[in-house]
Amino acid sequence: MNHQERIRIWFVRTALDNIGGAERVIAQIMTHLPEDRFEPISVWLYEPGAFGEELAEKGIRTHTRLAKSRSDPWLFARLRKLAKQDKPHIIFTTENALACFWSGALRKLRLAPRLVIGFHTTRLQKKSVGVATRFAAPSADRLIALSPSHQHYWEGITRCPPEKFQIIPNGINLSRFHPSKDRLQARAEAGLPADCPVVGLIAHLKPVKNLPLFVEVASRVLAAGEKAHFVIVGDGSEREPTLAEIERRGLQAHFTLPGATSDPAAWHQRFDLLLLTSHSEAMPLTILEANACGAPAVATDVGGVRDVILQGETGFFSQAGEAEPLTQNLLQLLRDSALRQRMGETARQRAIQEYSLEGMLQRYAQLFEELSSSVV
């Protein structure tokens, strides 16, 4: 390529909705890469989604509605035409099945010089994800994992060798995610109690988050006579069942469920602790965000959780699905404010050293430049 021109990167997905950490990370990459060196281009096969619309409003060139359905017979013809008209130097996609499959096809047919696939989950929700990633991954120039355990998982799914992978952890905007100057005032603004610790979670409320276990742990903590207030921020299919379970147990006075938020940092700054009870995670952004705000985490030992939490230093992890170990870990931190503060400070420093947005962007920029430098 002409090294005086900007590197054109297609970001390909079916849509970019505002539903989780992976989507926020992709939006951050697209909006924070240096404008003089990179040109991010949105290629959304269906509708743009909430984040997709925001990116378009910010001036990022956008192509949408290329597919009328998953089985649209004209989808590849439209992608091929677009690739000739607005040729990318690099395609970046994810394990989003339809986008991953056709991005692989474009690379195999040399309609895209380079392909990068970034993985964000450790769970195959659909068989189509496995089919798409196994088809596209061998033709990819680089596969991005979030942590060592995350890479190990995707090596097994894609059947690709370790040397094809590169680990780039998610990054946190530390200018937004930092401890509150006045946590009690921040709580008062949200109607949260000031006389007890606040245990929180911010997530897309879907079954994998295992919210019944969250409520069970909260119930056990309160039954042990410990004062605490529990906050679950987010929306999704599990919101109403969770509210019903809280009401069934008579715990309404001890819970706040404010719904979805556009400002997760404000909520993290109100928490003393994060509680994550998921069945599956890749590299939970919510833990990194909580840590950056000075809150240690108690979580299930799934996916990349043990790569994020330093056991006994920035929080605790324990066997997935087990309420009692989570309860005991949570009680230990609730009963020992000095330990809680010490862990929170250590978690904050680790977030600064290992998980900054600037560090993540630098790694992606270097990767994209290395790949594009070899494009003829």
Q: pLDDT by residue (tens digit) across 343-372?
A: 999 999 999 999 999 999 999 999 999 999
Do 294 and 205 belong together in one domain? yes
20-33: average pLDDT: 90
User: Quick check: is 301 in a domain?
Assistant: yes
167-175: average pLDDT: 95
Model confidence over 282-325: pLDDT tens digits? 889 999 999 999 999 999 999 889 999 999 999 999 999 999 99
83: domain range? 7-171+356-373
| Structure confidence at residue 375 (pLDDT) | 67
With vertex at residue 158, the alpha carbon angle to CA 153 and CA 162, rounded to the nearest 5 degrees, is: 70
Closest C-alpha to 14, from 55, 46, 38: 46
User: Quick check: is 178 in a domain?
Assistant: no
Confidence of residue 126 (pLDDT cuts 50, 70, 90): confident
Taking the C-alpha atoms of residue 28 and residue 144, their distance in angstroms, rounded to an integer, is 16
Strands in the chain per DSSP E: 7-13, 38-44, 62-64, 90-94, 114-118, 142-145, 165-167, 198-202, 229-233, 255-259, 273-276, 297-300, 315-318
User: Quick check: is 331 in a domain?
Assistant: yes
Res 43 pLDDT > 60? yes
Strands in 254-308 per DSSP E: 255-259, 273-276, 297-300
Take residue 215 and report the two structure tokens written for it: 């409520």
* Average pLDDT, rounded, for the chain: 95
Do 256 and 324 belong together in one domain? yes
| Structure confidence at residue 334 (pLDDT) | 98
Taking the C-alpha atoms of residue 194 and residue 184, their distance in angstroms, rounded to an integer, is 6
Decide: helix, strand or coil at residue 38. Answer: strand
Do 265 and 368 belong together in one domain? no
Do 147 and 257 belong together in one domain? no
| Structure confidence at residue 20 (pLDDT) | 73
Res 3 pLDDT > 70? no
Taking the C-alpha atoms of residue 35 and residue 52, their distance in angstroms, rounded to an integer, is 18
Do 56 and 46 belong together in one domain? yes
Closest C-alpha to 146, from 368, 363, 371, 365: 363
Find where tokens 């355990």 sit: 149
Inter-residue contact 40 to 7 (CB < 8 Å): no
Do 141 and 99 belong together in one domain? yes
Point out the least confidently predicted range of 19-28, 43-52, 133-142, 275-284.
19-28
User: Quick check: is 177 in a domain?
Assistant: no
For the residues of 149-209, what is the DSSP string, one character each? HHHHHHHHHH---GGGEEE----B-TTTSS--S-HHHHHHHTT--SSS-EEEEE----GGG
Inter-residue contact 297 to 203 (CB < 8 Å): no
Do 252 and 360 belong together in one domain? no
The domain that holds 138 is classified in CATH as 3.40.50.2000
